[in-house]
Chain A
Amino acid sequence: MRTTGLAVSEPGDDDARLVERLRARDKAAFAALIDQHHQTLVRLALAYVHEEATAEEVAQEAWASVIKNLAGFEGRSSLKTWIFRIAVNAAKTRAAKEKRSTPFSALAPEEPGDEVDPARFNDSGMWSAPPAAWTADDPEKRLLRAEAMEVLARALDELPAAQRTVVTLRDVEGEDAPTVCNILGITESNQRVLLHRGRTRLRRALEEYASERSP
């Protein structure tokens, strides 16, 4: 559940109720939907179009299309999955106009950072510089947690586009692997590799933050 306080993304009954409210032109329901998923739509678009401003435009186009096609939503997927597909299609259309290749057509070769630094293991593949536990039992705990969330949000924004897209759909939006493959048109193994690389980078960002905090 996200922080908007309105259950807008659960499949099943809640989804059906939400769709009903949207079709009844319930403005608050649509506002909550935008609040919850707009950033994801921008991130999806950014995987295809590169310019932040263009991605914003694409996200807005996608919402316009959602408004227009709401009557035709059949509930074969969850509402949010349907919205993400619309956004990806809008982004692909824009990318084609700009003659950009899609980022998922080929898996990028592994880059430094995609895995834990090999220098942290000895010749037998065992930790030589093991991770230190993140202790949270101090009075600053709450503040640190809030700060760590900012670190995480920044690290997510800085991920390579394809990794950011997969991590956002899987770990932020909570979509499952087959759905993500379907939305992005990628293979199961590419999805896994991108998710793994992205998660590895994000854990490291938090690790670096934790180690700065405890000298």
Chain B
Amino acid sequence: MMRCQDVTHLATDFLDGSLPWHRRAAFRMHLLMCRYCRTYLDQMRETLRRLRRLPPEPVPPSTKEDLLRQFEQQ
């Protein structure tokens, strides 16, 4: 029987689809029965969604100007 702590250890492998089928089945079974682990996994998914939307930090203007100049001169 998979424990909650195992679920937190295996969350990344589960989301990446890299768990062997029997572990994946046990993981899913645990999720069906445990709302706390469902919450945990939802939060992990939310974290990933936000990471994908993270806006890039502005490039220092002098760096950008310098690179654009190099680009033009090449």
Name A residues whose Cβ lies closer than 8 Å to a Cβ of B.
Answer: 2-4, 25, 27, 30-31, 34-40, 56, 60, 63-64, 67-68, 115-116, 118, 121, 124-127, 130-134, 148-149, 152-153, 156, 167, 171-172, 174, 177, 192, 195-196, 199-200, 202-203, 206-207
Contact = CB atoms under 8 A, between A and B. Distances in A.
15 contacts: A27-B68, A27-B71, A34-B59, A35-B58, A37-B56, A67-B67, A67-B70, A121-B3, A131-B36, A131-B39, A131-B40, A171-B48, A199-B48, A206-B46, A207-B43
A171 B59 contact: no
B44 interface: yes
A115 B54 contact: no
B8 A200 contact: yes
Nearest to A40: B56
Contact of B16 (A130, A132, A156, A192): A192
Contact of B54 (A56, A127, A153, A203): A153
Contacts of B31: none
A203 B5 contact: no
Given A34-B68, A130-B36, A152-B51, 13 more contacts: A2-B56, A4-B56, A30-B71, A39-B59, A67-B71, A116-B8, A127-B4, A131-B40, A133-B39, A152-B47, A192-B13, A200-B12, A203-B40
Given A67-B74, A131-B36, A134-B46, A125 B6 contact: yes
Contacts, number: 134
A199 B47 contact: yes
> By DSSP majority rule, is chain B's interface helix, strand, loop, or mixed?
helix
A164 to B, nearest CB: 12
B55 A2 contact: yes
Contacts of B36: 127, 130-131
A25 B72 contact: yes
Given A39-B56, A131-B40, A121 B51 contact: no
Interface string B15-53: 010100000000000000010110110111011101111
Contact of A149 (B13, B50, B59, B67): B50
Contact of B44 (A3, A167, A203): A203
